[in-house]
């Protein structure tokens, strides 16, 4: 699995929306806070919308918001949707049909293990978890002033 800029931006955007759950956030705010080229972010947000992760409102008081509770959006879902399969090699991905002698390949088993270990991590973290981490970190930071 490799996270591209596109993926990184998508995750940051969703996290920002999670931190602002209930509000509608404009693309300008998102772009500024997360330091993302706005035109690139447009594409990413459209993708996220098509993926069912966010909704949008047009017009003067428009912007973006999560289409479901942050608690129900897993890091892994977004990462896979934007950057593709987490499997480290094609022969381990779903629906792969090359390799007639899959059962002979000693590497395949390793890559399956790696994929499972990865999904075990990223599919068990929700954006609510992440938002809470940010919030508690911010609190800590303010106390320390």
Partner DNA sequence: ACAATGTTGATAGACTTAATAGAGAAATAA
Partner DNA sequence: TTATTTCTCTATTAAGTCTATCAACATTGT
Residues binding DNA (CB under 7 A)? 4-6, 26-28, 37, 39-40, 42-43, 45-46, 49, 56-64, 83
CB nearer to a second copy: pick between 29 and 123: 123
* 133, interface contact from DNA, a second copy, none, CB < 5-8 Å by kind: a second copy
Please check whether residue 5 is in contact with residue 36, taking contact to mean a CB–CB distance below 8 angstroms.
Answer: no
111 binds a second copy (CB under 8 A): yes
93 binds a second copy (CB under 8 A): no
User: Segment 44-63, which members bind a second copy (CB under 8 A)?
Assistant: none
110 binds a second copy (CB under 8 A): yes
Alpha-carbon gap, residue 118 to 28, rounded angstroms = 33
> Of residues 39, 60, 94, 104, which one binds a second copy by CB under 8 A?
104
* Structural element, H or E, at residue 64: strand 63-66
Distances (CA, A) of 34 to 7, 10, 38, 40: 13, 10, 10, 12
Cα–Cα nearest to 19, from 34, 41, 2, 39: 34
3-class DSSP assignment, residue 25: strand
**Binding residues for a second copy, total number by CB under 8 A:** 27
């Amino acid at each position: 699995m490799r996270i591209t800029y596109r993926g990184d931006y998508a995750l940051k955007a969703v996290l920002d929306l999670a931190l602002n759950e209930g509000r509608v956030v404009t693309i300008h705010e998102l772009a500024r806070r997360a330091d993302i080229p706005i035109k690139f972010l447009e594409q990413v947000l459209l993708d996220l919308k098509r993926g069912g992760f966010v909704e949008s409102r047009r017009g003067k008081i428009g912007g973006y918001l999560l289409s479901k509770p942050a608690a129900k959006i897993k890091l892994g879902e977004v990462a896979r949707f934007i950057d593709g399969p987490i499997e480290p090699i094609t022969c381990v991905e779903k629906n792969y049909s090359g390799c007639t002698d899959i059962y002979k390949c000693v590497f395949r088993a390793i890559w399956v293990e790696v994929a499972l270990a990865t999904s075990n991590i990223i599919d068990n973290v929700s954006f609510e978890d992440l938002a809470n981490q940010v919030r508690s970190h911010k609190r800590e930071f303010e106390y320390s002033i």
